[in-house]
Structure 1
Amino acid sequence: MSSIRIDRLTADSGTLECSIRATSDLERFFTDESFRTDYDVPIAAVPDGVLAIPVLAQVCPVAWANGADIYVDEVDATFARALADVKTTLCEMHDFLEGGTLYARRTIDPDPEPGDGSGLLFTGGVDSTCSYVRHREESPTVISIRGWTITPSPDDDGKWDALRTRVSRFADDHDCETAFVESNMLSFLDHAMLLAHYKRHVDGGWYSSVGHGLGLLGLCAPMAYARGMTDLYVAATHWDGIDLEWGSRPDIDEHVRWTGTRCHHDGYELTRQERLDVIADYVRSEEPTLQLQTCNDRMDGNCGGCEKCYRTAVGLRLSGLEPADHGYPFAEGDYRRLRRSLERGEWVLGQDERHMWADIRERARDTDPATPAERAFFEWLAGVDLDDLISASEPPLTHRLLRAGARNAPTPVYNTVYPAWMAAKTGLQRVRSDR
């Protein structure tokens, strides 16, 4: 029987570490690294059943994809029930998921100190900034996570330092506390092999399409328990009416909970353009110099030339703001460059980007263009087939063949060619997040 066992769980000061043992058929989905997460708050006094949550949140979807059972010594009873609810949602959403059973020697119902704090997963993008505006009266702790869009690799140290600096400045300016979480959750998992096996079933990567709602919220459990957070918010990427196979949705995130904390999928009733409207109202009433950060290529500002930067700049204009005042170098000539890049398929786009451009198109129909260049772009956008823009962005055939080869290779063969596979890994990954 396929199984994954959580083993040797330890907590030393702010560091959580454990290893897993997987049956031979599942070994390829894990690297040789132990699972490790670092918090900026002591967690040694957090019960083991809560300490197990971060690794379970990463491992369980892998187990469910293979019909495997999961074994752990101790688990928080509230989270065990949450996992059952999340499993139901994910298995209904993805027909390649088979499910599996969590077995624990002990389930616990700890009695934490009463708390009244809240937390918000935060990058400074459109979605998380909108959620801050909506919940600013709570002064939520703004939480930034290293391990997904910013990897634990030394190559990403500069990005992480830039994000920490920027989020810390935001927290100081808005009288909030910060929490910084660093994890190797995607180098502990063999994300490249997960892509090789399951990319054909999902629009995007394994973590974006399957794992990140449960995974990112679960990472926060020991920190939230230690800080007394009763509510934890994660900003919605999509909105009501979009039915995509995406790893963070209300029917996933709203189920995630553990003793003392409930999680919330925030802003789902608002489209992305409406979230920009919320931000625009806040800018006009309280903070005229508010800066946004949505660029995945940079963390020390926005490059201004990627699809997400262009999309955000156009959205800001539609909400009545000048992009350059909020972190986006944007001139009239950029409308022509944006159209050309979209037509040429220069960016890898998915169905979520299609919906976001459709949202912009809908708003543009009710907006008087401010310039001839803007008018020309909106007229083009009104007539273009957005599905054609998505199909023009298909990954190369060589990437699809490489995934198929890795998927079908016996484990010893896979291990032999692993370095070559890793060299191609970057080209296979597409991580999309507005948080």
Structure 2
Amino acid sequence: MKYKEGINVLNPVKFENTVIVDFTVPNNIEKFFKDQRFYVEYDSNINNIPDSILVIPLLSNILPVAWFSGVNVIVDEVDEKFYNIIPNIQAGFKNLYPKVKMESKLIAKKIIKNEMKESGRSAQLFSGGIDSLATYIRRIGEKPNLFTIWGADVNLYDKDSWEKVKNYNIKIANKLEAQVFFIKSNFTLILNTRSLGEEYGHLINGFHWWAGVQHGFGLVGLCSPLTYVKEITTFYIPASDTAEFNIPWGSHPLIDNEIKWANTEVVHESYDLSRQGKIHLISRFIKENKDDLQIRVCWQADHNGGNCSKCEKCCRTIVGLLVENIDPNFHGFKVTGDFFSNVKNNILKDFWAYDTIPYWKDIQKKIPLNIRMVDGRHRDFLFWLKNYNFDKHIKPSFHTKIIKSIGRILSVFSKKFIKKIINLKILMYLLSSDFLINTFNFL
């Protein structure tokens, strides 16, 4: 079946553990796509998976583009439950981004009712970070399978980083006595997120397409064939935030909790826990089990899949662990002698994005009132942080605006490439070195 209008999804092609789906797009939205061939590779055989399930990984990543653009998506066949939840997913995005019309449809020639054995098994997305570790610990009695995706925070060209992440997660899975499965896909590479940002960024509060739209629905959809193979009935996606933060985000209960296919239901897990609350949960697990559990939070690709211990996210996690009396040096981080002065300097000079302030204020609330009880090596810093007024940073500072502007301009280039071609001596003369370094960290 082929229509003249809309995105036409062709039938999936299977090769043991890989599925390839080609699609065509109308001329008016071609600019939003870099490739019209999608693939996803599993470490399990998917030959017996019905086509109506195998199209879900692609659909979950291109449907939002179609909804924002006002075009239909046409597919030969699709799973019944997945088809029926589409209006609910659209309503979720509409609630987050009211200016988007969300009027286009998924058109299917066949709607297939798929069923599998009610096994009671569960699985979750797993990166090895705070959110995913907290989810596993809360659901440890179920021993959920762990699904890690190559092509998300580690790009497909960075094999060295991926090997480190893979080995890292295998070790964690062995320690937790869990099974880990790996998925590889070009799902981020088929989209031109720069063009999507230019066209729709103002509708999604200036967020990058990945953060504001794709990463919830898109990641979960990739896992559908594997859940079918493993007879997974509950699939957890770890929450990034809580209702208290009230920030529209691509992964949100309004979206994730509506996703279904066959006998599988998705749960947006730990939405009731703040990031520091999750760190507290992980810290308690470490203390009770005398565990050297490793934590991986850093998304910067030039650190070989580990933690740089310098970026805002690493620093925030390190401080969060210290507040819980956990030594980060034993859990994937390196705290150097100048760590506290660097963190303080970045906060004071507003080099870190102002939208991370709610996380720092969350840490503030957990710092003991009697700071004398805290380890002396970081007592002075925590005393300063406990009493620091973050409210003056609520609006973007001049530095933040400039950093974001430079980030948008340079985002089309590789950070490594930029660092090679820019004469740092000249820029150091024009800008302070701290400002330059934090500009790159923001990219």
Aligning the two structures, in what range does the TM-score lie when normalised by the shorter sequence? 0.7 to 0.9
Query: Separation in 2 of the partners of 1:401 and 1:354?
Result: 24
List per-residue Cα deviations over 1:189-231 (Å, max 9, x = no partner). 1122112222333343101111111110000000110111111
Residues 208-247 of structure 1: matches in 2 within 5 Å? 208-247=211-250
Q: CA deviation at 1:61?
A: 0.4
Structure-2 residue corresponding to 1:168:
170
Q: Which has the higher contact order (CA 8 A, sep 6+)?
A: 1
Q: CA deviation at 1:400?
A: 5.3
347, 353, 357: which one aligns with 1:354: 357
Residues 309-320 of structure 1: matches in 2 within 5 Å? 309-320=314-325
332, 338, 342: which one aligns with 1:327: 332
Comparing 38-47 with 314-323, greater Cα deviation is found at 314-323
Q: CA deviation at 1:376?
A: 4.7
Q: Taking structure 1 as reference, are residues 331 and 231 closer, same or farther at Cα in structure 2, changes over 3 Å only?
A: same
Structure-2 residue corresponding to 1:281:
284
* 2:265 equivalent to 1:257: no
SS of corresponding position for 1:104: strand
Comparing 68-77 with 169-178, greater Cα deviation is found at 169-178
Q: Taking structure 1 as reference, are residues 189 and 230 closer, same or farther at Cα in structure 2, changes over 3 Å only?
A: same
Letter in 1 for 2:380: A
Query: Separation in 1 of the partners of 2:260 and 2:9?
Result: 20
Comparing 198-207 with 159-168, greater Cα deviation is found at 198-207
SS of corresponding position for 1:169: helix
Q: Taking structure 1 as reference, are residues 208 and 375 closer, same or farther at Cα in structure 2, changes over 3 Å only?
A: closer
284, 295, 298: which one aligns with 2:298: 295
Query: Separation in 1 of the partners of 2:354 and 2:417?
Result: 17
Runs of 4+ in structure 1 deviating by more than 6 angstroms, as ranges, are 423-432
Structure-2 residue corresponding to 1:411:
none
Q: CA deviation at 1:37?
A: 0.5
What percentage of residue pairs aligned between the two structures are identical?
Answer: 26
Q: CA deviation at 1:162?
A: 0.5
Structure-2 residue corresponding to 1:194:
196
Structure-2 residue corresponding to 1:374:
381
Query: Separation in 1 of the partners of 2:272 and 2:404?
Result: 36
118, 127, 130: which one aligns with 2:131: 127
Structure-2 residue corresponding to 1:68:
71
Letter in 1 for 2:324: S
List per-residue Cα deviations over 1:283-328 (Å, max 9, x = no partner). 1111431121111223553221111111001101112212222222
Assess if the C-alpha contact under 8 Å between 1:65 and 1:96 holds in 2.
no
Query: Separation in 2 of the partners of 1:124 and 1:424?
Result: 24
Comparing 103-112 with 322-331, greater Cα deviation is found at 322-331
Q: Taking structure 1 as reference, are residues 54 and 390 closer, same or farther at Cα in structure 2, changes over 3 Å only?
A: farther
Assess if the C-alpha contact under 8 Å between 2:6 and 2:74 holds in 1.
yes
Which ranges in structure 2 are unaligned for 5 or more consecutive residues?
Answer: 419-438
Q: Taking structure 1 as reference, are residues 390 and 228 closer, same or farther at Cα in structure 2, changes over 3 Å only?
A: farther
Letter in 2 for 1:309: C
Assess if the C-alpha contact under 8 Å between 1:73 and 1:105 holds in 2.
yes
114, 120, 124: which one aligns with 1:116: 120
List per-residue Cα deviations over 1:382-405 (Å, max 9, x = no partner). 4562325666323454665799xx
Query: Separation in 2 of the partners of 1:90 and 1:429?
Result: 31
Which ranges in structure 1 are unaligned for 5 or more consecutive residues?
Answer: 404-420
Assess if the C-alpha contact under 8 Å between 1:119 and 1:143 holds in 2.
yes
* 2:140 equivalent to 1:136: yes
Structure-2 residue corresponding to 1:184:
186
Q: CA deviation at 1:365?
A: 6.4
Q: CA deviation at 1:46?
A: 0.7
Assess if the C-alpha contact under 8 Å between 1:205 and 1:430 holds in 2.
no
SS of corresponding position for 2:318: helix
List per-residue Cα deviations over 1:90-128 (Å, max 9, x = no partner). 022113422111110000112323433211111111111
235, 239, 251: which one aligns with 1:248: 251
Q: Taking structure 1 as reference, are residues 287 and 144 closer, same or farther at Cα in structure 2, changes over 3 Å only?
A: farther
Q: Taking structure 1 as reference, are residues 382 and 362 closer, same or farther at Cα in structure 2, changes over 3 Å only?
A: farther
Letter in 2 for 1:113: K
Task: Tell me how large the CA RMSD over aligned residues is.
Answer: 2.7
Residues 32-47 of structure 1: matches in 2 within 5 Å? 32-47=35-50
Query: Separation in 2 of the partners of 1:192 and 1:263?
Result: 29
SS of corresponding position for 2:139: helix
Structure-1 residue corresponding to 2:432:
none
Query: Separation in 2 of the partners of 1:424 and 1:320?
Result: 35
Letter in 1 for 2:54: L
SS of corresponding position for 2:163: helix
Q: CA deviation at 1:51?
A: 0.6
Query: Separation in 2 of the partners of 1:143 and 1:277?
Result: 24
Assess if the C-alpha contact under 8 Å between 2:404 and 2:442 holds in 1.
no
Letter in 1 for 2:169: V
Q: Taking structure 1 as reference, are residues 55 and 368 closer, same or farther at Cα in structure 2, changes over 3 Å only?
A: same
Assess if the C-alpha contact under 8 Å between 2:371 and 2:383 holds in 1.
no
Q: Taking structure 1 as reference, are residues 247 and 429 closer, same or farther at Cα in structure 2, changes over 3 Å only?
A: farther
**Normalising by the residue count of structure 1, what TM-score does the alignment of the two structures yield?**
0.87
